[in-house]
Structure 1
Amino acid sequence: MKALKLMAAALAFVGATAQAATNQEIINHVSYNVILATYNDLASQAANLNAAVNTLAANPTEANLAKAQDAWRATRIPWESSEAFLFGPVDSLGIDPLLDTWPLNILDLDSVLKSNRAITTDFVRALGTNLQGFHTIEYLLFGDGKSANTKPASALTAKQFEYLKATTALLAEHTAYLAHSWTKNYDPENPSAPGYVQVISNPGFDNPFYSSDRAVMEEFVQGMMGILDEVANGKMSDPMGADINSANMALVESPFSWNSLNDFTNNIRSVYSIYTGHYRSTKGPGVKALVERVDAALAARVEGEILNCMQLIQAIRPAGGGDFGQAIFTHDGRARAQKAIDALNALHATMENEVLPTLDM
């Protein structure tokens, strides 16, 4: 429901003329009010998740389990809404795999849980990336996701609580570090390095990454294209397989919570935010403002295509309940998924063939 409400709010802006803005104004707004704001939200929500898990561990009631599950979903929103800008410290510092490696190594996780090892944050830190992060927390909070997307609080063991507390603390640490890298210092080996938001928002000859405003704008467009391709041809296509007999639930991301479709929608919401400059209640110039200077009709059409993709992803949800992992094992669900994939690929082509060239006009 939350995803649908956010989408409805976004629809209100379709066709609206983007604020007249220079490239530098677009860069400043997107850098500070979209990207940095998203990472700050992520760090805040991860801290809330850690607190909710500690409350659950101290008092394992159904109500506290539901609050922890809601906190996981709430933290997932800004993370998935950041995937159009997986450049900068999230990449260079290797933070992405620490937060979101998939698939989860369930066999090794279960082995650790059965052992006599003391599970601390440092212990989990030393494990592989597929034994920490969002999906480890998801599995422990929601269960295996096979027939339902929840489990009773009584099913959580003392060892699972140890692991939950350790890995949510680590998630909060990593997300806080990501926010710090954008606000204060992007290179821990160089104490004088500024926050990455200052780097990307000040292109120029002496900038080590962005020699011109065009270079930043291309980073934005390539980021949008990258997640469009990943959602269409990775996150959705890989689990679907060539036909219904080759559909593979093990490749579905966020299957334990049945949150896949919301993840995919928020991935495309990140494209919407970079393109329009709209993030949560904040509005300002995005890439659309540049496109509009060249072709106002194209600018509006692209926005409509982005919102259409989000609607088509949500429409995959089975009427009788379930999520993407259930839809791909039905013929009608696969047809709806393919429609969304086709729209995402068409939008990618529009970005590549029509939006990208506007950077040089």
Structure 2
Amino acid sequence: MKARLLALAATAAPCALLPLPALAVEPGEVVETYADIAAATYADSLATAQELRAAVGALIAAPSEATLRAAREAWIAARVPYQQSEAFRFGNAIVDDWEGRVNAWPLDEGLIDYVDPTYGNGSEENDYAVLNVVATPKFTLSGTEVDATEITPALISGTLHEADGIEANVASGYHAIEFLLWGQDLNGTEAGAGNRPHTDYLQGEGCTGGNCDRRAAYLTAATDLLVSDLDHMVAQWAEGGAARAAVTADPLKGLQAMLTGMGSLSYGEQAGERMKLGLMLNDPEEEHDCFSDNTHNSHYYDGLGVRNVYLGEYRRVDGSLVEGPSLSDLVAGADAALDTRLKAELDASVARLDAIRSAVAGGMAYDQMLAAGNKEGEALIMAAVDALVTQTASIERATTALGIGGIEFEGSDSLDNPNAVFQ
């Protein structure tokens, strides 16, 4: 669902800071740190995607329970840095225009491969919801004959992804790969993730699900495409890259991007579309990582990514720390009490998201938290939602304290107009 925008009032001109006390840091320094963190986060995302590609190659070469498990573990590891990168969305057009290729959700997975009969025969909204490209080497798409005999990254990105202009036709990215590794999660609001067997990748005798060669080709092509897409984004944030230049050329616009990304991810995207909406609908299909049941981790790392941007620090996969002059330093110079408050609220939201992870480790799956009547699960999710909403209000206060206008945060009907969710 396309969320509406929540416009934030600002009394100053869009690109002029209010007079502030002597600054401990300069806006340009803060934006350089932001770009450095983006570069490191996407570099880690690329490196872990390359490790995923190697694990997928091992699975295809020798399908077994062990190689399938290793590929799944590599996918989960790859989510750790990528989810932290989502704080660079919304305020950066280069990222926004690209993001749908790598992390779009939810998806009509029947476009890609076989699904359970309970999935149905498609919908009025999407004629291709059960196309099953893995089993269909030739088909008609929007009146054009498509030869999908060879499944390639170009076929996925240029023809299948968002086929016929339908956003639910997600053919590429992390979630397409997730589906191919786990299969559908048919457990509803009970515990349990997808349970695709490794035999879905056996070539010849023993193949389950049919078309194991084409399934392997699709998984390989989708993983290659993910690596290519991430390599592209790493280049955008490198020295001389377009995304880095876009935020550093005008530090005030860079600060706008930082605050927009923080507020939009906190509020409309995470608190609203990814968390409260699923709870309102009691629908596990609204889980972000719905096939793997990794949603609790993705939520946590999204929250961590917002805090990274404010504090000007990022802990890399190898344990090293990227840090520098921060938005926190800048806000502290304008309103020390607000900086203290916002840092405490960011810590609180990360802690509430971590409490969800702890509950999952203790035996309550995120699916189960979404079940109607699960008061404990509802309380865990809503505590995190409330903390994210609270910190968003302070992010708005920070824009006022710095005198930065031109800010819009992404909204969500689940937060702004709950009745619309059920219409």
Query: Shorter chain as normaliser: what TM range?
Result: 0.7 to 0.9
Residues 103 and 198 of structure 1: is their aligned pair in 2 closer, same or farther, counting only changes over 3 Å?
same
> Could you tell me which of 260, 263, 272 is aligned with 1:225?
263
Name the structure with the higher strand share: 2
User: 2-side partners of 1:322 and 1:158: how far apart?
Assistant: 37
Find the partner of 2:40 among 37, 41, 55: 37
Larger RCO (CA within 8 A; separation ≥ 6)? 2
Contact 1:318–1:326 (8 Å) recurs in 2: no
CA RMSD of aligned residues (A): 2.1
Distance apart, 1:360 and its partner CA: 2.5
Determine the structure 2 residue equivalent to 1:343: 387
Aligned to 1:285: 325
1:75 equivalenced with 2:78 (yes/no)? yes
Are 2:64 and 1:24 equivalent residues in the alignment?
no
CA shift, 1:31, in A, is 1.2
Instruction: State how far apart, in whole Å, the 2-side matches of 1:298 and 1:214 are.
Output: 20
Give me the TM-score of the superposition, normalised by structure 1: 0.82
Tell me how far 1:153 sits from its aligned partner: 2.1
Question: 1:308-346 deviations in whole A, cap 9, x for unaligned?
Answer: 112212323346525322211122101211111111111
1:357 aligned to 373, 384, 400, which one? 400
Is the aligned partner of 1:115 residue 2:170? no
Code of the aligned partner of 1:335:
A
CA distance in 2 between partners of 1:132 and 1:202 (Å): 33
More divergent stretch after superposition (150-159 vs 63-72)? 150-159
2:283 maps to 1:238: no
Q: What residue in structure 1 maps to residue 223 of structure 2?
A: 168
* 8 Å CA contact retained: 2:87, 2:262: yes
Shift, 1:168, TM fit: 0.4
**Does the CA contact (< 8 Å) of 1:80 and 1:270 recur in 2?**
yes
Partner secondary structure for residue 151 of structure 2: coil
Task: Measure how far apart 1:50 and its partner are.
Answer: 1.4
The 3 A distance-change label for structure 1 pair 319 and 44 is closer
1:184 Cα offset (Å): 6.5
Equivalent pairs: percent with the same residue? 29
Equivalent positions of 1:1-361 (< 5 A) are: 20-32=24-36, 34-86=37-89, 87-91=92-96, 94-110=97-113, 111-116=132-137, 117-125=149-157, 126-129=159-162, 130-147=170-187, 148-149=192-193, 151=195, 152-156=197-201, 157-183=212-238, 194-203=241-250, 213-229=251-267, 230-241=269-280, 246-280=281-315, 281-316=321-356, 317-318=359-360, 320-329=362-371, 330-352=374-396, 354-360=397-403
Q: Number of paired residues? A: 318
- Going from structure 1 to structure 2, the CA distance change for 1:154 and 1:133 (only over 3 Å counts) comes to same
Unmatched segments (≥5 aa) in structure 2: 1-22, 114-131, 138-148, 163-169, 202-211, 316-320, 405-423
CA distance in 1, matches of 2:67, 2:326: 40
The structure that is helix-richer by fraction is 1
**Structure 2 CA distance for aligned equivalents of residues 319 and 332 of structure 1:** 15
Letter in 2 for 1:89: I
Q: Larger Cα Rg: Structure 1 or Structure 2? A: 2
Conserved in 1, the CA contact under 8 Å of 2:42 and 2:233?
Answer: yes
Deviations 1:244-295 (A, max 9, x none): xx41122211011111111111111111111001101223222101011122
